Structure 1
Amino acid sequence: MNTQVGRIYSSIKRGAALACMMLILPFTSLAVTDFDHAYTQYDALLKDAVHYSPNKKQTRVDYQQLVIKQPTMSAVQSRFSSVTQAQFDGWSEAQQLSFLINAYNFFTLQLIVDNWSDFKLGKVDSIRDLGSLFSSPWKLNFFNMLGKKRNLDDIEHEMIRKGFKEPRIHAALVCAAVSCPPLRNDAFVADDLDEQLDSQMRLFLADNSRNEIITQGQSGKVYLSSIFKWYQEDFEKGDGGFDSLYEVLTYYIDALVQGDNDQQAQRNVIKQDDFPIMFKDYDWRLNDVANF
């Protein structure tokens, strides 16, 4: 009789345990799969810390503000780091690319915040100073993402450039330098990604400190950001409809001449299709508000 009671008791325990698991699993599943593709917290951080220049063509970051908001930074980092590879694989291409661009830009901000005391003390002036003789700052494995310890080069070169045929990402990824494209004050989101990438290209090319056309009578030269030199091959593969930098400049001619006094002369230079392209020196100073 005692044996029978014991079996009944064990059966009840197993049933109760199973019932508890059935109740818990939906909430566990929700916690694993529910990701905020609007990037609400990250978006709020950007709106607080990213400031536009008077001409709206450049931005700088108030890193001191991000230091003050370190608890929110930590929460955002946790959200990026908690995404699993399986979860990521189940997203649409636009969701994946938005996530990777946002992650790259956020972890770049985090790298600067983590070393902010050294910047304030004048020990370092640029993100490049955060590396070593044996490793660049873009190869520092300082964050977890998709289940592995990662670095910034992993995101840009291994995940984005190899996984997506989208040259416009070079106007969206921001490496914390003055000559970088302007960091948006909002997050990239899947529903608006194409429009956001296009506006980034236009904004980047419209800034004469980064890209400009110099006319010389009926001819002229184009001076582009070194980004177009470093990643020229990405604009020559046919991706996005571009087979050359000349095609990029033709497509975005309105942005290139925006606000300039000799717009028609500049347009005539681009129409010639054989103008020389030069590349500007890169300003690696930190894109902090102090360097506006």
Structure 2
Amino acid sequence: MRQLTAVFLILLAASVSAAPSAERWAVWDASDESRAAHIDHSAWQVLLTRYLNSQHPSGIARFDYAHVDPGHRRLLDVYVEQLSALDPRQFTRAEQFAYWVNLYNALIVQLVLKQYPVDSITSLGAWYQFGPWDKAVTEVAGYKLSLNDIEHRILRPLWRDPRLHYALNCASLGCPNMAAETYSAQNSERLLEAGARAYINHPRGVAFEDGNLVLSRIYDWYPQDFGGETGLRAHLIHYAEPALAQQLKAFTGKTRYRYDWNLNQP
């Protein structure tokens, strides 16, 4: 029994340290670039305005899961149902990006609320899993989807934009902030830029401690998304404030990684 437990713990640690690869799900390639229609995300905006504190003194946005009232829980459920009833392939590519990001973040909050109180989203999976990432959580156009499907089979391979890591929130203190605005075809570029800049200039993203460079484990999980070691350094320098950029340019020492999975609640 002890040997089986040890093997399980080793496998679990390996799964945490290695993120899924980006494997394109070709069925989601289609779009209608001639269509001018926009997807309504106003219900999700109501919840963000009411329960997300994006001005927390820590610099980490907090979602007030504990005080979401029954009416707003139902509003969230209806919003997820309405998005899931759409076929995003009938919209433009820009509209699709906002659709998938908003759906992912709304599903994360919905999952936490269903099990709240919890200390970490990592406790929401089966006993043998690290979190709920592989569980089917919605169905779109007849396809059952997990959070990992949305992130690793749709968003990452189809858009190939490293900044999407700053758009997806995993309900954890170590994660980039959930944006206070819903994503749309019109504001996605602005929000992606703001998210990258905010995370890289916060200590949980990039910091120097005891002569070491300490980075979020996001950069360890997805090195190829950022262009490998050289591409990542250029990415960090591009978004870093001047003083931090100078430190990054001059740094030649060791790099450590960390991540805080505690729930992003007040």
Is the shorter-chain TM-score for this pair beyond 0.5, marking a shared fold? yes
Larger radius of gyration: 1
Q: 1:74 aligns with which of 50, 74, 77?
A: 77
1:231-261 Cα shifts (integer Å, max 9, x gaps): 1111017xxxx9521111211121xx6xxxx
Q: What secondary structure is seen at the aligned counterpart in 1 of 2:75? A: helix
- Distance in 2 (CA, whole Å) between partners of 1:39 and 1:77 is 10
- In structure 1, the partner of 2:6 is none
- What's the counterpart of residue 48 of structure 1? 50
Deviation at 1:108, TM superposition (A): 0.5
Q: Could you tell me which runs of 5 or more consecutive residues in structure 1 were left unpaired when the two chains were aligned.
A: 1-32, 258-262
TM (norm. structure 1) is: 0.72
Aligned to 2:123: 129
1:35 positional shift: 6.4
Report the CA distance between 1:34 and its aligned residue: 9.6
Q: CA deviation at 1:145?
A: 2.3
Say which of 233, 237, 246 aligns to 1:250: 237
Structure in which a larger fraction of residues adopt helix: 1
Give the TM-score of the pair, scaled to structure 2: 0.78
What residue identity is the alignment partner of 1:48? R
2:152 aligned partner, one-letter code: H
Consecutive unaligned residues of structure 2, counting only runs of 5 or more, are 1-34
Task: Give the secondary structure class of the aligned counterpart of 2:144.
Answer: strand
Deviation at 1:67, TM superposition (A): 4.4
In 1, Cα distance between the equivalents of 2:58 and 2:124?
29
Question: Pairwise CA RMSD of aligned residues?
Answer: 2.4
Which amino acid in 2 is paired with 1:75?
A: V
In structure 2, how many angstroms separate the alpha carbons of the residues matched to 1:35 and 1:112? 31
Cα distance per residue 1:129-182 (max 9 Å; x no partner): 111134441111132223222211110111111211111011111111111111
Counterparts of 1:175 and 1:253 in 2: how far apart (Å)? 23
Provide the secondary structure at the position in 2 that maps to 1:108: helix
1:273 deviates by 6.1
Q: Which amino acid aligns with 2:223?
A: Q
SS at the partner of 1:288?
A: coil
Question: 1:224 touches 1:277 (CA, 8 Å); kept in 2?
Answer: yes
| 2:161 aligned to which of 154, 158, 166 | 166
Paired AA for residue 287 in structure 1? N
Q: CA deviation at 1:114?
A: 1.2
178, 183, 195: which one pairs with 1:188? 183
Q: CA deviation at 1:39?
A: 1.1
Contact 2:56/2:62 (CA < 8 Å) preserved in 1? no
Q: Secondary structure at the match of 1:222?
A: strand
CA distance in 1, matches of 2:194, 2:223: 20
After superposition, residues 64-143 of structure 1 pair within 5 angstroms as: 64-68=66-70, 69-84=72-87, 88-116=88-116, 119=117, 124-135=118-129, 136-143=131-138
Distance 2:112 2:246 in 1: 43
How many residue pairs were aligned? Answer: 230
Letter of the 1:100 counterpart = W
| Structure 1 residue 287, shift from structure 2 partner | 0.9
Instruction: Give the structure 2 partner of residue 228 of structure 1.
Output: 219
Q: Distance in 1 between matches of 2:52 and 2:220?
A: 27
Q: Is the 8 A contact 1:269 1:275 kept in 2?
A: no
Contact 1:57–1:204 (Cα < 8 Å) also in 2? no
Greater Cα offset, 67-76 or 106-115: 67-76
- For 1:58, the aligned partner's letter is I
Q: State the alpha-carbon separation in 2 of the partners of residues 275 and 244 from structure 1.
A: 17
> What whole-Å deviation, never above 9, does each CA across 1:92-151 have from its counterpart, x for those lacking one?
2221111111111000011011112xx2xxxx4211111113444111113222322221
Give the equivalent residue in structure 2 for 1:206.
201
